[in-house]
Every structure is written in C-alpha cells, then in structure tokens.
Structure 1
Amino acid sequence: MKIQTVKCCRSSIFFLFLLLSFSLFAQEEGTWRQASPSSQAYHEYRLKNTIPPYGLVKIKALIAQIKDADDDSKSPLNQKAYLALPLNEKFTYHMIHAESYSQNCDVVPPIIDEDKKIFGILPDAFNESSWSERQANFLKSQKDAVVSLIKESVNRSKRVGLNYKTALVEMNATETIPFLIELYNRDHKDFDILTVLMLFMKNNEYKPFMISTSFVKLYGDKSDAQSFINYNKANEELIISRAIAFYNGRK
C-alpha cells in the first residue's frame, strides 16, 4: 500500500511539472496575445499604490528590521513597536506593508484592452499579501482619521492609489462617494474609482444596482476576478448616477 501511495505522489508531482512546463512554454511561444502598449500602461497605472509621507523613513526602517529578523518581509511588526507608533505612522505602515501572506501560483495571462474596461473587483494591492486582522481592525476602528489622511494625501497627489481604494472598500467608507466622483471627473482616467463605487453599492446591497444587468455580469454566478463591463459614456454615467442616488439615500 505504501508503494502505491509513493507512486501516486510521484505521478501527481510529474503531472504538475508537465503542467507548469506547458504553461511556461505557452508564454515563451507567444500563445497568449500580447496586450497593446496602452493596455500595458494602464495595467501599471492600476497597480500603483500611494506611499504616504508620514514617518516614511522610520517605517521603512522598521519593516527592514522585520525582514532581517524573520527573513520574511510579510511578518507583522512586534506589538510593542507597533503600539508606540502615532496614528499617522500606523497609517503609513498599513498602506505600504501587508502582514498576511497567501501564495498564489496561478499564471495569469495579460488582460487585453484593459484600458477599455471597468472591472467588478480591484486588483490585489499587495500582490500575494493582504492586511491581517490587526490591520483591518485598525482601518475600521480609526475610520474617520484614515479617511481624513487619505483625502489629505489624494489632494496632494491628485490620484487615489490602489491601496487607498482597497482601504476605502475595507472600511465601507461610503461617505467618500462625492469626493471620489469629483476626483474621477477631473480626467475620467481611473476606472477603478468606478469599481469602488460599484463595490460600495454591492456591499451595502443597494437594490437598484443589485437587480441591474451590470451586477449580474460583474458579480453573478458566472463572474470571476476579471469580469468587466465595457467603458463607455453611458456605463460611466449610469454608475455615477446610481452611486449618487445610493449616497443620497443612505440612513
């Protein structure tokens, strides 16, 4: 029985090796379509986080110490050092360092025409990492202060980074809807702001949105992390008008 188990394991490992080799070969041979330069540029734009300035040199040094001590840059800062940070430096820490690690081995092909799509879900702000329970609790318990710091930072940089968008969704900061719409209307460039508006409506079960065709396409049974609707003026205006109606109807 042990011999059969070993053979089975070896067969599974060999199969995985072949599958990985095939995936790498497909990429090398150009089986996947290459995204256009504008699509690739927008992809990079979507993934860009905003780096807060509050105690940045100090926080980077603390994060470097974590890596030196644990050989794992995703480990949490020890509680004593964490509690000693003032609130705005905690904010910087959370915005540039996610404490939880989750490996993702999936090979994702390039997104074609990414610059012409409005997605239902935001990209991962920290690649293969995410905020820990301690970090999520900080964002929610200090929501007013965090929103204020985000607005202050965005007003300086004139854009809201992916980490900030992710934080706003995590905190369910629906009070920022007018601010986000004003920011979006400056250049109509960052479609992920529209994604945040839709996530607010979805997470708060706003009925006019929940029964819409867009909701089914983005969040229905057949949806996935790359589900999208096409960017056009009609979809843009519909998302914004629904978000305004949702905001005005909040209790």
Structure 2
Amino acid sequence: MKYCYLLLFVLTAGRLAAQEDDGWQEPSKESQVYHEYRYKATVPPYGLAHVKSLITGISNDADENRSMKAKTYQALPLREKFTYHMIHAEAYSQNCDVMPPIQDEHLKIFGRLPDAFDEYSWSDRQTGFLAANRDSVMALIKESVGRSKHVGVNYKTAIVAVKGKELIPFLLSIYKLDRKDHDLLTVLLLLMEQAQYAPFKKTATYTKLYGPESNYQSYLQYNRANEELIIKRAMEFYNSGK
C-alpha cells in the first residue's frame, strides 16, 4: 500500500510538472460536473442506519479486504443485505494507474461504467447474493429509483451484474426524464454485449466499444442519432425471446 501511495505521488507530481508539455489539460467545468455525477451512488433506505453502524465496525484483513463477519451478515434480513452491498464493497483491488482527465465527458456515451467503489469491488459472497436474489435485487432497485429518480453507479453496476434485461423499459423511462445520464445508455449497451445479442454484435457500435481495438474508455459521441439507435436496439433486445 505504501508503495502504491508513493507511486501515485511520483506519477501525479510528474504529471503536474509536465502538463504543458504532454498536452494534458483540465476538462471544462461542465465536463467536470458530469464526471462527478457519473460517480454518484444511490443509497438505499432499507435499514440504512443499522447497516452503516455495522460497517463502521468492520476491520481490514491482511489483504485489506473489508468483510462483515459471517454470523453478523447471515443475521441481516434481505433488504439490509441489499443496502450493505449497495454501499459497501468487500474486496480490495489495488489500482495505481493515473489516467489523464477525460475531455468533454458529458458529450460521450461510454462502453463501460466507471468503478462504483473506487479501489474496492464486490466479493464472491456479494456477487453470489446478487445472483441468488436476482428478482428481489431488481425489485428493490426499481422501488428505490422510483422515489429518487436517480440510478446511481452502484445500481447500474448491479443491474449489469444480474443481467437485468427486464429493467430496460424502466431504465428508459428514467433516462427520458431529462436525457442527462448517458451511463443509462451504457447499461443498455452492456446488457446487449454480455448477452452476446447477435444483431448487436454485427454493428459498428459493438466493434468500436467492445471489439479488439476497444479499451476501457471507448465511447460513442453523444448525439440524438446515436441515442435513438441505442434505444431502438435495446428495445428490440428486450422484446427478443419474450
């Protein structure tokens, strides 16, 4: 961990010193605001105070994982387990990469979602819960979003994890409220990609976002034509096999 912090310091210092020479520049204010918006989570209300109090008592293990004790975890009702998973990831995954800032982030539809939990991710126990309680997870997300009208990055990640094709019309109803959250379109793309939906795999969009030359930041330019095409394909995917 100390090595990672030192490396981050050295890389960041080097980046700041070389910004003018290597073309790095600060994104526009609008892009920065949207960047923060993309990383915003939705906090479930189910037993929230209780779950938060239990999380404060969790200690890191030797690998810096932060897992609730099995006995305590098993005693939680399903809704509180859902809250726990949506606000706390157990598995530590060190990441020392320093990436240049994304320019015009608000004008892009990405092929991948941002990390929901920074340097942590869901453990096998947590992904197992999501898979085993798929219908309940989707129902709780829908219920929660119905109140907040916001699908946080944690909820988006969970929808992809449970392959929540059934939520496509609901996600579109939320998206169309203001057409601001382009990561909702990313969820639609990921649902088609993970299902290996054949009509989608034949498109230029699939090649650009998920083909051999793609990367974590591959994107489509946001415009009404691309938006409408993604929505059309997602609804065709939703209706396929019904």
- TM-score normalised by L of structure 2: 0.92
Structure 1 SS opposite 2:177: coil
What corresponds to 2:232 in structure 1?
241
Asked whether 1:27 is paired with 2:6, we answer no
What corresponds to 1:49 in structure 2?
41
User: What is the count of residue pairs matched by the alignment?
Assistant: 235
- Of 54, 79, 82, the match for 1:62: 54
Structure 2 SS opposite 1:108: coil
In 1, Cα distance between equivalents of 2:135 and 2:11: 50
Question: 1:109, CA displacement in angstroms?
Answer: 1.1
1:105 corresponds to which letter in structure 2? C
Q: 1:65 to 1:71 in 2, by over 3 A?
A: farther
In 2, Cα distance between equivalents of 1:51 and 1:147: 15
Structure 2 SS opposite 1:83: helix
What corresponds to 1:4 in structure 2?
none
Larger Rg: 1
In 2, Cα distance between equivalents of 1:20 and 1:90: 37
Asked whether 1:39 is paired with 2:36, we answer no
2:14 corresponds to which letter in structure 1? F
What corresponds to 2:186 in structure 1?
195
Q: Over aligned residues, Cα RMSD in angstroms? A: 2.0
Asked whether 1:86 is paired with 2:77, we answer yes
1:230-249 Cα offsets, whole Å, 9 max, x none, are: 00000000000000001111
Contact 1:202 1:210 in 2 (8 A): yes
Q: 1:80 to 1:148 in 2, by over 3 A?
A: same
Point out where structure 2 has 5 or more consecutive residues left out of the alignment: none
Question: 1:153, CA displacement in angstroms?
Answer: 0.7
1:43 corresponds to which letter in structure 2? H
Question: 1:61, CA displacement in angstroms?
Answer: 1.0
Q: 1:140 to 1:45 in 2, by over 3 A?
A: same
Question: 1:27, CA displacement in angstroms?
Answer: 2.1
What corresponds to 1:7 in structure 2?
none
1:143-188 Cα offsets, whole Å, 9 max, x none, are: 1111111111101111100000000000001000000111111110
In 2, Cα distance between equivalents of 1:151 and 1:97: 20
- TM-score normalised by L of structure 1: 0.89
Structure 2 SS opposite 1:245: helix
Point out where structure 1 has 5 or more consecutive residues left out of the alignment: 1-12
Asked whether 1:158 is paired with 2:154, we answer no
Question: 1:250, CA displacement in angstroms?
Answer: 2.7
Question: 1:21, CA displacement in angstroms?
Answer: 3.5
Contact 1:64 1:73 in 2 (8 A): no
1:149 corresponds to which letter in structure 2? L
- Of 181, 186, 201, the match for 2:177: 186
2:32 corresponds to which letter in structure 1? Q
Contact 1:101 1:129 in 2 (8 A): yes
In 1, Cα distance between equivalents of 2:153 and 2:211: 24
Asked whether 1:142 is paired with 2:133, we answer yes
In 1, Cα distance between equivalents of 2:62 and 2:200: 46
Q: 1:54 to 1:74 in 2, by over 3 A?
A: farther
Question: 1:23, CA displacement in angstroms?
Answer: 4.8
